[in-house]
Structure 1
Amino acid sequence: MNTTFLTFAVLLFLATVLAIEGLYLYWISHHGAQAKRLAARLELGSPSGQAGGQQLSILKDRKLSDSPWLVRLLTVVPGVQTFDRALKQSGMTMTVGRFLGYTAACAAIGPVLGVLTPINLMVQVGLSCVLASIPWLMVRRNRKQRLRQLERQLPDAADVIARALRAGHSFPSALGMLADEMADPLGAEFRIVFDEINFGVSMNTALYNLTERVPIDDLRYFVIAVLIQRESGGNLAEILGNIGFIIRERLKLFGKIRALSAEGRLSAWILALLPFVVVAVLSVLNPGFIKIFWTDPTAEKLAGLCLGMMTLGILWMRKIIRIRV
């Protein structure tokens, strides 16, 4: 009896371990980082047509939405392609239609709170505007972080290409080596350039497309140097080595400036958030004291004036602490 129970316990333990391992492997194969990179690579090269008798195209196509009627509506909206480019630059996989859905859902929280709690109409509108801006702020934050990461990888990319050229490789093959050796996101961007050249796109067009996808000044200087060298000749390996050195020095200077201006940026954050924190604390500790701003017409006008002046102050502090290098 004890042997049977012990055997059953061992088999149950092994079955549990194998089930957990199977679930882990399933999750990694469908939702892991490698699977996401592979899906993104396949999406970049997938045709816009679908199977089942519809016409296929070899051109890359990025859908604005999964809904056909919303695609037709967004196509006629001016500036939607620029916004879609910002979404791609942020590295997020959402479409414009899905982003608009998230924005509408966040904006709807204001009226819902107005129904559940006695909040003034102006406060509902202001709250809806603030909440509706959260998805766009997330896109801007992801885009800024991704472009900053691309900028940090660019000096190493210039050195890799320079070493490949000194070893006797051609510039297109050096781009292929860079795409294989460099980590994402810069490796994926140069992989697109390498694939475009292999599919017959001219070198100038492929590099121009790279600058459109990655709007970084240092990358533009890199592309301009390559194009000028292709027209006039010269030692491209030495040119790229000098560009990598200049980019590193500029990033080093930018880091020093950020360190010296850290105190000013922290002070600006504290001054900008302090009024809102005080209002929130007073609303919890003494609701009757702060209630006048939602009930008295004169107080509402004063609150609007204060918000306007605080907005101007925040913009002015932002202009002071932002130092371009």
Structure 2
Amino acid sequence: MDNLTLLTVGVTLLACVLGVAGAHVYSSGRAQRQALVARMSQTGQTPLPTGRRQRFAGLDRRLRATRAGRRLEREITATGLDLTAGEYTVYVATTLLALYFTIGAVFAPFFGLLAAVAGLWGARSFLRWQRARRTEAFINQLPELTRVLANATQAGLALRTALAMAADELDDPAGYELSVVADQLALGQSIDDALGVLADRLPSRELIVLVTTLILANRAGGQVVTSLRNLTQTLEERKETRREVTTMLSQIKVTALAVPLLGLGFLLMINTMTPGALDKMTGSVTGQIATVTAFGLYALGAVLIRRFSRIQV
């Protein structure tokens, strides 16, 4: 009986040890897999893991098998959105159908078609806007980034180590983008190539200056700490200037948005005062051409207002 008890206790302890070891191996393997998938996602080979169940996986696989799908996936990855190419395609298609039926019911069927075309353009513009927004957030973190790099290099750390440390200390998007650079360096990629990919992914003057400074310092050495200190002060001043310019141009941006909305408001008012007027107007080829021309002029006015108010800092 005593031997049976000892055997049971021994088997139980062994099972517990094996269970703990198995959980540890599983967790470490899962972490390594996620890190590998994150690195591969930067080249468009596989979607970035998000910890959630991805929808429309079949459609996503078919899209990633095409050149357009891979390009779309790279664009989505640059925006930082928690989306796959398949999910984005389904959401855009659903939105276009909703716009077509909704606008067509409120105004006229021809306006529903115009709304669907405008929605398709808006979907692409949304990706560009999201990428610009992420780039702007990264630019705002550049002074802090250069300060961390200057402190690390002054402490005697190598540039690779300084980039990895900055990735751990900074918040997103700078922390994530630097972690991608650190992963590429860990895989054997050169500093010039890793930083060059970062500059291509988030194009901006400030980042190009920083990348150029780091590349030159890595190649020729020199006073990298002094350069980073001076660059930090310059970026702080540019950050304040950009903030002031954005505040001054906010009214102009609202005007550029209000111009096309006024046209839609006038059309809705006309259709309310005279029901069926828009159906009669767009029932002929001449009316359709006039409608497209009017919307084109409204869009041109909005674009010109934004172009004239754009100030490069």
- TM-score tier by shorter-chain length is 0.7 to 0.9
Work out which of the residue numbers 24, 45, 51 in structure 2 matches 1:61: 45
Corresponding residue of 2:177: 189
Q: 1:221 to 1:118 in 2, by over 3 A?
A: closer
Work out which of the residue numbers 106, 109, 115 in structure 2 matches 1:127: 115
Q: 1:243 to 1:83 in 2, by over 3 A?
A: farther
- TM-superposed CA distance for 1:114, in Å, is 9.0
Distance across 1 between alignment mates of 2:238 and 2:133: 18
Q: Is the 8 A contact 1:197 1:206 kept in 2?
A: yes
Q: 1:316 to 1:45 in 2, by over 3 A?
A: same
* TM-score normalised to structure 2 length: 0.74
| Unaligned stretches of 5+ residues in structure 2 | 1-29, 49-54
- TM-superposed CA distance for 1:140, in Å, is 2.7
- TM-superposed CA distance for 1:320, in Å, is 0.9
Distance across 1 between alignment mates of 2:44 and 2:299: 43
Alignment deviations for residues 112-154 of structure 1 (CA, whole Å, 9 cap, x no partner): 569978944x333212212334433432332222111111001
Q: Is the 8 A contact 1:44 1:60 kept in 2?
A: no
Q: How many residues align?
A: 276
Work out which of the residue numbers 252, 257, 272 in structure 2 matches 1:264: 252
1:97 counterpart = 2:86: yes
1:178 counterpart = 2:166: yes
Aligned-pair identity (%): 22
Distance across 1 between alignment mates of 2:99 and 2:58: 29
Larger relative CO (CA 8 A, sep 6+): 1 or 2?
2
Distance across 1 between alignment mates of 2:223 and 2:217: 8
Q: Is the 8 A contact 2:282 2:291 kept in 1?
A: no
Work out which of the residue numbers 236, 240, 244 in structure 2 matches 1:248: 236
- TM-superposed CA distance for 1:155, in Å, is 1.0
Q: Is the 8 A contact 2:160 2:182 kept in 1?
A: yes
Alignment deviations for residues 78-105 of structure 1 (CA, whole Å, 9 cap, x no partner): x554432221111113222322222222
Q: Is the 8 A contact 1:272 1:310 kept in 2?
A: yes
Corresponding residue of 1:56: none
| Unaligned stretches of 5+ residues in structure 1 | 1-38, 50-58
Alignment deviations for residues 168-206 of structure 1 (CA, whole Å, 9 cap, x no partner): 222222112211111111011112222322333222222
Q: Is the 8 A contact 1:264 1:321 kept in 2?
A: yes
Corresponding residue of 1:320: 308
- TM-superposed CA distance for 1:159, in Å, is 0.6
Distance across 2 between alignment mates of 1:141 and 1:69: 25
Partner of 2:282, secondary structure, is: helix
1:45 counterpart = 2:33: no
- TM-superposed CA distance for 1:111, in Å, is 5.6
Alignment of 1:1-325 (within 5 A): 43-46=34-37, 61-63=45-47, 71=61, 75-77=65-67, 80-109=69-98, 112=101, 119-120=108-109, 122-295=110-283, 298-325=286-313
Q: Is the 8 A contact 2:76 2:83 kept in 1?
A: yes
Distance across 2 between alignment mates of 1:219 and 1:155: 11
Q: 1:292 to 1:214 in 2, by over 3 A?
A: same
Corresponding residue of 1:36: none
Distance across 2 between alignment mates of 1:202 and 1:306: 53
After superposition, the CA RMSD in angstroms is: 3.3
- TM-superposed CA distance for 1:312, in Å, is 2.1
Q: Is the 8 A contact 1:90 1:139 kept in 2?
A: yes
Mean Cα deviation higher: 151-160 or 67-76: 67-76
Mean Cα deviation higher: 94-103 or 105-114: 105-114
Partner of 1:108, secondary structure, is: helix
Q: 1:41 to 1:213 in 2, by over 3 A?
A: farther
Alignment deviations for residues 249-279 of structure 1 (CA, whole Å, 9 cap, x no partner): 2222222222333333333332232111222
Q: 1:266 to 1:68 in 2, by over 3 A?
A: closer
Distance across 1 between alignment mates of 2:101 and 2:31: 37
Q: Is the 8 A contact 1:47 1:61 kept in 2?
A: no
The amino acid across from 2:161 in the alignment is S
Distance across 2 between alignment mates of 1:108 and 1:42: 38
Distance across 2 between alignment mates of 1:150 and 1:195: 19
- TM-superposed CA distance for 1:305, in Å, is 2.6
Partner of 1:228, secondary structure, is: helix
Mean Cα deviation higher: 134-143 or 88-97: 134-143
Corresponding residue of 1:4: none
Q: 1:157 to 1:300 in 2, by over 3 A?
A: same
